[in-house]
Each structure stands twice: as C-alpha cells, then as structure tokens.
Amino acid sequence: MDITPAVFDMYLLSKKFPIEHFDIHADIIRADMTQALESRAVEFLYPVRYEKDSLNIFVSALDTDFIDCYPKLENSHVKLCTKKSQ
C-alpha cells in the first residue's frame, strides 16, 4: 500500500497529539490524485477512527479557516484542528 504524504502526516499528528477519531477536510480529499485517501487513512491510522462528525479534523497546512489547531509539524502537508461544536 502506498502511503501519500498527507496520510503519513495525519499518522504522525495522531501519534503526537493522541486522538480517538478524526474527520478529513474535503479540500484534502479533492487534492488527492489517487482517489483513495479516505480508505488509506482509515487503514493506516487505525485504531484511530474516521468519523465525519468528529470535532478533530485534518486540514491542509495552508488552510486559514481553522484557528484552533495543534502546532503544525515541520514540512507537514496537513494540520490537526478542532471544529467548533455545533
């Protein structure tokens, strides 16, 4: 299984900032050329679970819409943020 840089960064972030579940921003999914980012993230990040309603969300490292984020890892393609609860 080929691991894309985005999925590997998600893995590193989930280890550094332990979470039980996560969501992935649509921009990251659209940018993935393999069309398999979600399934690879589910497999590679296990036992961390992919849940669309999770308050933990992986977003592009360049995304400025989220301000409540953990410190970005150096050279990371993604960052881990917290959605505001509804």
One-letter amino acid for residue 16 of the chain: K
Could you tell me whether strands 78-82 and 56-60 are parallel, antiparallel, or unpaired per DSSP bridges? antiparallel
How many independent structural domains does the chain possess? 1
- Specify the pLDDT at position 71: 87
CB atoms closer than 10 angstroms to residue 83 = 15
* Confidence class for position 1, pLDDT limits 50, 70, 90: low
Which tens digits make up the pLDDT trace of 16-75? 999 999 999 999 988 887 778 999 999 999 999 999 999 999 999 999 999 899 988 999
- Specify the pLDDT at position 2: 74
CB 86 within 8 A of CB 23: no
Bridge partner residues of 11 (DSSP) = none
One-letter amino acid for residue 21 of the chain: H
Task: Determine the structural domain holding residue 53 and report its residue range.
Answer: 5-82
Closest CA to 20 of 48, 53, 52: 48
